[in-house]
Structure formats: structure tokens, C-alpha cells
Amino acid sequence: MTQPGYDAFADEYAQRFPDPYQAPFERHAVAIFAEQVHQANAPGVVVDVGCGIGHVTADLYRRGLRTLGCDPSPGMLHFAREAHPEQTFVDDDATLTLITEPISAILARFSLIHIDPAGVEAVLHAWAARLPREAPVLIATQSSDEPGSALEFDHAVAPAWRWHPDELHRVLDACGFVENWRLVSRPGGIHRFPSVHLLAHRR
């Protein structure tokens, strides 16, 4: 899987989003995730799936975690490696097939939105096969107020789908994960849609 749209958008993205978080609750959600990773104390790396220009990966590193960022866009990874040379970044997609070392936790902020919903369960099953029991997973997506299947929306860069929190819970449960909590925010600022941050752990 490649993301040529993000390659073309990389320069503009780095200029428009110098801060990794667009609202305080996003920063707090990631901070709680980092605390959960420390408490689990499992060996391996924390993988930032769809890391883009790497600023969330770097934030996790500053929080004392051993991190690895992956993204299918070489253009975005170029910025990540330039800005954060102390970090490891891999040209890989959400299946994590090129990451060979043990994985202790997974963060996926607004990256699973670009996977056709029919393929998301396969990705989550692949994660479950790699993670130890109790390993934390934090997923953030644009959300929907309409129960049921994920809804495609007009993302500026690549095809994308937004998820009702209950549907995200359902697919996580089916793939071996237990929900800890969810945080749903309403549209505002640059956000046209609600968003959900959902923390789960490997069953």
C-alpha cells in the first residue's frame, strides 16, 4: 500500500500542522496511552502507525517510550527523518509486515481511516497476532453519529472512512481487543466531523 497523495501533500502538511495535536484532548489521550504502555511494561517497540512527519512518534519518545514510526508515504517519512534523526522510521503500512522486532503497543491516529472498512479486521487481526496480552492500542478516527458501517467521506488527500464508535468497538472486539475507554469530541475548529479516540488492550 502506498500513499502518493500524501507524498504530494508532505510539504504543505509539515507547514500547516507543526503541532502534532489540534486540540488539548488529543494530547491528553496520547498521554494516557503512554502511561498505559509504561504500566504494561512489555518488551518491544511502540509503533506509531501512519506516523506522517513523525511528531507524535517524537512525543511518545519524549515520554520515555521506545518508539518506531511507520508510514507508506516516502515523502512524509523524509520530513520525519529530517526532523527526528534519533527515531526509527519504516516505509510500511498498517499491516506492519516489515517490522520484525517485538511490538509492545500500537498507536494509530487518523491512519486507519484510509483503509477500506472491509480490510480493517485483517489489519487488527495482524496486530493481535503480534501483541502480548494486555498490550494497549489507541485508535483515533473521524467519527459518525450514524450507527452501523463506516461512512466514506471527502478527505482532501486520499479515500477515507469515518467510524461510529460502537462499530469501531465491534471490530476491535471481534479481533481480540477489549475497549478500556473512548473519548468522542464534537466538530469544531479544523474538524468538520466528530472524532473518537478509543483505547483498547489485547485480550
pLDDT at 71: 96
How many angstroms separate the Cα of 49 from the Cα of each of 103, 107, 109, 158, 199?
A: 12, 6, 7, 16, 15
pLDDT at 4: 55
Report the greatest alpha carbon distance in the chain: 43
Q: What distance, in Å, lies between the first and last C-alpha atoms of the chain?
A: 28
* This model's pTM is above 0.75: yes
170, 101 in Cβ contact below 8 A? Answer: no
Nearest to 182 by CA among 203, 161, 202, 168: 168
- In the chain the domains, ranked by start, together with CATH numbers, are 4-202 (3.40.50.150)
Cell 486507519 belongs to which residue? 112
Residue 179 has, within 13 A of its CA and on its CB side, a CA count of 17
88, 139 in Cβ contact below 8 A? Answer: no
pLDDT at 7: 67
Q: For residues 122 and 172, give the distance between their C-alpha atoms in angstroms, rounded to a whole number.
A: 11
Beta strand ranges found along 50-176 (DSSP E): 67-71, 88-91, 103-109, 136-142, 151-153, 160-162
Instruction: Show the low-confidence residues of the chain (pLDDT under 70).
Output: 1-5, 7-10
Q: For residues 134 and 115, give the distance between their C-alpha atoms in angstroms, rounded to a whole number.
A: 25
pLDDT at 182: 98
